[in-house]
Amino acid sequence: MLLLGIETSCDDTAVAVLRDGRSLLANVVSSQDQVHGPYGGVVPELASRQHIQNILPIIDAALRQAGIAVKDLAGIAVTYGPGLVGSLLVGLSMAKALAFRGRIPYIGVTHLEAHLLAIHLEQEVPFPYIALLASGGHTLLYCVKEVGAYAHLGSTRDDAAGEAYDKVAKMMGLGYPGGRIIDSLAKNGDREAIRFPRAHIKKGSYEFSFSGVKTAVWQYLKSQQKDRWENRKADIAASFQEAVVDMLVTPTVKAATAHAVSRIVLAGGVAANSRLREKIVEKADAEGVKVYFPAPKFCTDNGAMIALAGYYWLQRGRQDDFRLNAHPDLTL
């Protein structure tokens, strides 16, 4: 069973071909980082325009890489939300056109669900597990009981973790997207150099908050002469990162122990973070909890996870008709 997965919810045009929910025959991603870089964040109009330019060549490239034609597809899976409406509509319209022309079943996939299931592209992880989804747009904690059964445990009250990374990188003039840059800069810094605040949301809750640490970095930068903090960039990056990582790790490990779940799965762009991976393993290990993380290319937005989620649902007999619309605020 060959499935095409199309993802255009934000600023990456991504297409994959997946066979039998298991073998990935192609996984092509066209990043728009260069386009949005000068603005320090995604500009929605530019993103949808780029998707329009990229979508056909990326689909062609994925089919070529997989060595198949459209007529060989048994299904098409496409993200229909949440995300930027102009971006979502490009992928969704493309999927509908291909499905209509080739009389191929197609299915709309929730972007968040695809992230939560992405780990199964590479590893067999038994259910249930606690999933931390941390990206540029979301910071969410779920208990994943099985495909389709997701208990929401908590989310961010303000900024998403990746958003905080991107904003702090912008303040420091480091470039966009900031997560990867801060992650590598922090490797040469002292994470104890500056004690940035950790938000403590009320006991027993699994909520997150990152606007406080972002503001604290801003205040720190303002309080110093630029040439002084320029020499301490690595220390600032490492100290900021340590605060973010602590705020992600503590509620996640707590959720696993409180729900007597012995597995944690990381997902989303921030799950690629090296310090997060190191620290969550250390803390979870102490509680007898095992941590699983996807390869970085399956943490950030990709078509493979969309194809996989679509595969699970098509197998269960679901498919969509042409009335399906983009849902920018779609939840699980």
- Residue numbers of the site for Zn ion (CB under 5 A)? 135, 301
Q: Which part of the chain contacts ligand KG4 (CB under 6 A), choosing from 23-31, 65-73, 162-170, 278-286?
A: 162-170
For residue 113, state whether it binds ligand KG4 (rule: CB under 6 A). no
Nearest approach in angstroms of CB 296 to Zn ion is 13
* Shortest CB 247 distance to ligand KG4, Å: 13
Token pair for 195: 């004690």
Contact call for residue 183 and ligand KG4 (CB under 6 A): yes
Minimum Å gap between C-beta 59 and ligand KG4 is 20
Centroid of chain to Cα 88:
16
The residues near 118 (Cβ < 8 Å, ≥ 6 apart) are 267, 294, 298, 299, 302, 304, 305, 308
What DSSP designation does 138 have? -
Report residue 45 as tokens: 């109009």
Task: Identify the residue among 59, 172, 238, 270 touching ligand KG4 (CB under 6 A).
Answer: 270
CB atoms within 10 A of CB 317: 6
Cβ atoms of 65 and 23 closer than 8 Å: no
**Shortest spacing between CB 70 and ligand KG4, in angstroms:** 27
Q: 């728009």: which residue's tokens?
A: 32
Instruction: Sketch the per residue contact string, 9 through 48, with ligand KG4: x for CB under 6 A, - otherwise.
Output: -x--------------------------------------
5 counts as binding ligand KG4 under rule CB under 6 A? no
Burial readout 31-64 (b: 16 or more C-beta within 10 A, e: otherwise): bbeeebeeebebbeeebbbbbbebbeebbeebbe
> Which of Zn ion, ligand KG4, none lies near 82, with the C-beta cut-off 5 to 8 A by kind?
none
By CB under 6 A, what part of segment 285-304 binds ligand KG4?
A: 300-301
261 in helix, strand or coil?
coil
Residue number, 28 or 104, with CB nearest to ligand KG4: 28
Strand-pairing partners, residue 23, are 19
Q: Which residues bind ligand KG4 (CB under 6 A)?
A: 10, 135-137, 162, 165-166, 177-180, 183, 268-270, 272-273, 300-301
